[in-house]
A and B are shown apart, each in its own frame.
Chain A
Amino acid sequence: MSKTSKTIQEKTTELTDLVAWFDSDEFSLEEALDKFKLAETLASDIEKDLLALKNDIQVVKQKFDSVD
């Protein structure tokens, strides 16, 4: 993974963990609001990151039409 994609991957994993927490026995309403705000921030960041990423396309200089 590229550096930025790793960050997206990490954020996605973090968001998935947060969502899982909401369905777990550890869920408590007192903590839920803070965690929800964090999830909102993560979702927004993931969207921004995904839309900003561009592919780096390079045609290699090597020629493949030579006769051995």
Chain B
Amino acid sequence: MISGTIGAALDASWRPVLAPAVVAITAMAVMLVGSRLGEEDSEGLGWLTFSGLALAALCAFAAVGRHAPAFAGALIVDDYTAFFYCLIAVCAAMVVLLSLDYVPALELPSTEYYALLLSATVGMMLLAAAGDLIIIFLGLETMSISVYVMAAIARRDPRSSEAGLKYFLLGAFSTGFLLYGIALLYGATGSIKLEAISRALQSSALAASPLVLLGLAMMLIGFGFKVAAVPFHAWTPDAYEGAPTPVTALMAVGVKSAAFAGFLRLLLVYLPALHAQWGGALWVLAALTMSVGNLVALAQNNVKRMLAYSAIAHAGYILVGMTAAGGAAGAAVLYYLLGYAFANLGAFAVLVAVERVEQPGTTLADLGGLAKGQPMLAAAMALFMLSLMGLPPLAGFVGKFYVFSAALQAGYVWLVVLAALNSVISTYYYARVIVAMYVNEGAERKLRARRPGLSVALAVAIAATIIIGVDPRPYVEMAAGAYASAAGIARSGVRAAFLAH
């Protein structure tokens, strides 16, 4: 009854944007409440942020099954959008749990921190729902500008401001390319609506015009920066290493999922007519991204930096799926992102727990002997490393399996061979973390007293990494349904192509 009243009170056109609206309102509430509270109340602000994000996730979940363009097609609301709304809100909420004791310990300004976290989340959600070029741009920038500041928020640590600055400079640079691509695509097709652009490109004369090709190339460069594809990855390791660890988690999981959500929808759903052009470019990007990411990760001693290169490598695997295009590949990428997100969040949660107050360090030496002092933490970290490595039956393995077999089906044999070789290489640096924890001796350490929030985040990440991998069927259904609703194809078709292997 109450929900009916609220539902009626909300105009139908608002319902599709309920989730980002809730997040935006929470951001304002955080700013208002934060200005009245002292810095010692940062945990209260954290819980306020958390509840806003949880509410947004519920709103998004309730919207599953509705299909409607909102705001004259500027936003597309379908199961694909709902999938990413949920994923992004859950990721952001987990980051809040990671931040609860990190923010006061590093004396970060809590009001700004949580408000920026929420506004970044709004940007991610808009990017996932974007139905025209303006929203792609605005979503990307709302997300990026907030995260630039968050990366630099630890003002006492010179590495943090350096990370923020580098991220900002290269991010703004890439925005220029993306925008130029948007302008050219608009000029060639005469519209900013993705739907209309897609229709205009059906004509092969237009699809081959230099304006379109140049625009497409520029947009690939712009998105390449955002998803950290080689050779546009130069900012990634520095930004990941220097930023406060929960912010790094947000970059590795939230920013990456949202950027791929926009990228995937743009290329696979709206520009399949140009697959002949972008397919080759993505092939090269995927091959480079996997290989460079994995090879450089081998040399890293700092776990945060290693995870940055690991994130680059995983972007490469995802690009393999995107190169293949088609229903099965699209759904496989969504499933992959799900497994990737929880394993990464978990790994960063362990790093947050291990970092000491007086000397924040995340090198392999800092993890030395963790298994003796903190057996639970070490076991959790080992689980996440195994999932990122792609060991059955964890989520990472199933994701890789689906992505690679979709690419095989599409005939990209050499790319899959390269991807498989890369997976083998990656076992070395993930195993190094496990060896450090279980074999190496470490100095006596005194960890911060852990608050329940972090333990909850760890438990959720562990459960998700195992459950999504052991019983993939419901999540496969979810991914297939989400992609099918975006691509406007029958869900059964995607599912059949998916389960064929």
Do A and B come together as binding partners? no
Contact surface of A with B, Cβ cutoff 8 Å: none
Contact surface of B with A, Cβ cutoff 8 Å: none
